[in-house]
Amino acid sequence: MRYGFFPGCAYKTAAGYRESVEALNRALAIQLVEIPDWNCCGATAVFSINSSVALVLSGRLLALADLHGFDEIITVCNACYTTLRKAIHMMEHHPELITEINKHLKTETLQLKRLLPVRHYLDVLANDIPEMRWRKVKQSKSDSDLRVAAYYGCQLTRPWKDQGQPERPDVLEQFLERLGVTVIEHSAKTLCCGASHMIPYAKDCAPLVSRIIREVRKKNGNIIATICPMCQFNLDAGQGRLNIPGTPIAFFTQIVGLALGIDSKDLGIDKLLVPMYKISDNKE
């Protein structure tokens, strides 16, 4: 299986996402090759303005991935995932759109010939890596006081129910538990973080962040594992406006890295805004 990695625009500056993904790729010998000259997926913004442009953006990326011989496109961002997935869904139901897209791509000598599957890196880690390899890498029994709340946000489980239950998924919890991580059950795992509305409407979105953090603390969680740069950013930076005890917001890859015994320096954990040493048992 050749994974074509689509990092997306937010990956590079996301708090230690790149560091931790790269550390896991090294430890588990995962070949994640960046799709050469990838472009932005357009996210919710471009689809809100003009579908034609949004479709050409996704079309270009799919054509590039196919051209370079990849079998699947792997994303690390919910917005990238759903945007590509949405474009593919539209193309499957209206094949004439592909002809339209190709008229544009032709000027760059690109052609969209087939629609590659799009998957999230979580799916790769949870389902593609043989148990043996995990066992080989995991050095010791992890001794940690982390009680992790899995947080999926909106755009991985919805609207296609790709991970089973769209409101109460458990793929991340099951995966983390297999690695010996303590996870907690809570009811905020697929609530909205505010997405890009956080920029103009920070005040309106503050209750959304607060609702998630309070629920996690009430259920005795002391750290949140995210799978999307926007979710991580909104929950991490959004706490600055709230008067509640700080709860660190990590990427799931950082938590996996710690569970494997990888040094926190190699996981970019110092880049979190609410620092990890703030883990405390202070309940609301």
Partner 1 sequence: MDDRRLQLKFYETHDGKDVLKCIQCGTCSGSCPLSDKMDYAPRELFALIRDGEMEAVLRSNTQWYCVSCYQCMVRCPQEIPVTDLMYILKQMAIEQGISPKTAKMPDLYMTFYREVLKKGRLTEAMLMIRYGMKHPTDTLSNAFLAVKLLKRRRLEIIPQSIKEPKRISYLKSADSERTETK
Is the Cβ of residue 144 or residue 196 nearer to partner 1 in the bound state? 196
> Residues of 92-116 as b/e, b for ≥16 C-beta within 10 angstroms?
eeeeebbeebbebbeeeebebeebb
Q: How is the chain split among helix, strand and coil, in percent rounded to 5? A: 50, 10, 40
Among residues 111, 147, 166, 182, the one that binds partner 1 under rule CB under 8 A: 166
Binding status of residue 155 toward partner 1 by CB under 8 A: yes
Which residue's entry shows tokens 């196919």? 66
x-or-dash pattern for partner 1, window 218-237, by CB under 8 A?
A: -------------------x
Site for partner 1 in 131-150 (CB under 8 A): none
Strand order through the sheet with 32-34: 32-34, 3-6, 72-75, 118-120
Site for partner 1 in 262-281 (CB under 8 A): 270-271, 273
Site for partner 1 in 169-208 (CB under 8 A): 190-192, 194-197, 199-202, 204, 208
At residue 3, what is the residue type?
Y
Alpha-carbon distance 62 to 104, whole Å?
Answer: 14
Alpha-carbon dihedral sign for residues 95, 96, 101, 107:
positive
Q: Give the binding range for partner 1 (CB under 8 A) out of 24-32, 43-51, 248-256, 259-267.
A: 43-51
Is the Cβ of residue 181 or residue 224 nearer to partner 1 in the bound state? 224
Q: Give the binding range for partner 1 (CB under 8 A) out of 121-129, 158-166, 213-221, 242-250.
A: 158-166
Is the Cβ of residue 42 or residue 248 nearer to partner 1 in the bound state? 42
User: Is the previous residue joined to 159 through a cis bond, with omega within 30 degrees of 0?
Assistant: yes
Binding status of residue 45 toward partner 1 by CB under 8 A: yes
User: What one-character DSSP code corresponds to residue 150?
Assistant: E
Binding status of residue 95 toward partner 1 by CB under 8 A: no
Is the Cβ of residue 129 or residue 202 nearer to partner 1 in the bound state? 202
Alpha-carbon distance 43 to 8, whole Å?
Answer: 10
Q: What is the largest CA-CA distance in the chain?
A: 59
| Tokens read off for 165 | 């239950």
Binding site for partner 1 (CB under 8 A): 9-10, 12-15, 37-40, 42-53, 55-57, 60, 82, 90, 93-94, 97, 100, 104-105, 107-108, 154-155, 158-159, 161, 166-167, 190-192, 194-197, 199-202, 204, 208, 237, 240, 270-271, 273
